[in-house]
Amino acid sequence: MLNFNTEYESILFEDSLFEDKYLSPEVQANLHEGYKLYPLRSNDFERGYLDVLSVLTEVGAHSIDTWNTQFQFMKKHNDTYFTITIMDETTNRVAATGTILIEHKFVHKNGLVGHIEDIAVDSSHQGKKLGIRIIEALKFIGQATGCYKVILDCAIKNIPFYEKCGFSPKESQMAWYI
Ligand code: ACO
């Protein structure tokens, strides 16, 4: 692992999860002033990424090492993991995040399916269209990578939100917890 002497050096050599070409220019342009779209970045641990995720579910106690292990795993598989953030540029904190996982299938002639996961908007930023922008940005990645469909599971209370994002209910969700 690289060691940096200063915070400046660590920002200078910061790793992005994937290339900027997967970031929707339209979503970037439609964000209110002071917000910016990014791929997940290696220093987002310090920018409160996990705090934002905690509005969704239990995140567990992380150290910088457990963060780096997971970030590097995702980076190694960055044709599969596309996690994005919307930054509050005034505070340099993560305001919203979401992920699309690209699944490679035999069906539909080696088709690709995008799975949207872990959508979270920090409670102080909810209701400002960041959720809808995150979904638009993930749909863009689904199209750019060649998916034939993009699917997600959600709580019943969130169905109206996803309908506003262009999704419609289809079949049922099942779960088996270990
Ligand atoms: N029910 C009904 N409508 C909603 C809801 C809701 N739960 N949430 C937002 N909307 C509507 C808004 O009123 C708005 O409507 P408008 O365009 O007519 O004004 C539109 O959806 C867009 O809303 P945003 O401002 O983009 O929503 P926000 O930024 O608050 O994000 C989200 C919504 C993601 C549900 C957010 O509240 C959140 O993080 N909640 C907690 C975590 C969560 O439940 N995440 C989803 C998990 S499912 C998954 O990860 C696949």
Among positive and negative, which fits the CA dihedral 107, 165, 117, 39? positive
* Band of residue 153 on the pLDDT scale cut at 50, 70, 90: very high
* Band of residue 99 on the pLDDT scale cut at 50, 70, 90: very high
- The atom of ligand 1 lying closest to the CA of 133 is 26
Which residue has the CA at smallest separation from atom 33 of ligand 1?
Answer: 131
What token pair was written down for 40?
């997940």
pLDDT at 13: 79
Which residue has the CA at smallest separation from atom 47 of ligand 1?
Answer: 119
pLDDT digits (tens, 9 = 90+) for 6-43: 565 566 679 999 999 999 999 999 999 999 999 999 99
Q: Give the distance (Å) from ligand 1 centre to CA of residue 2.
A: 38
Q: What is d(CA 123, CA 96) in angstroms, rounded to the nearest whole number?
A: 9
**Ligand 1 proximal residues by C-beta, below 6 Å:** 55-56, 116-121, 126-132, 152-154, 157-158, 160-161, 164
pLDDT at 68 over 90: yes
Which residue has the CA at smallest separation from atom 26 of ligand 1?
Answer: 129
Percent of the chain at pLDDT > 90 equals 93
Q: Give the distance (Å) from ligand 1 centre to CA of residue 16.
A: 26
Backbone phi and psi for residue 35, each to the nearest 5 degrees, phi listed first: -115, 145
Query: Average pLDDT of 76-93?
Result: 97
Mean pLDDT of the chain: 95
Q: What is d(CA 99, CA 134) in angstroms, rounded to the nearest whole number?
A: 9
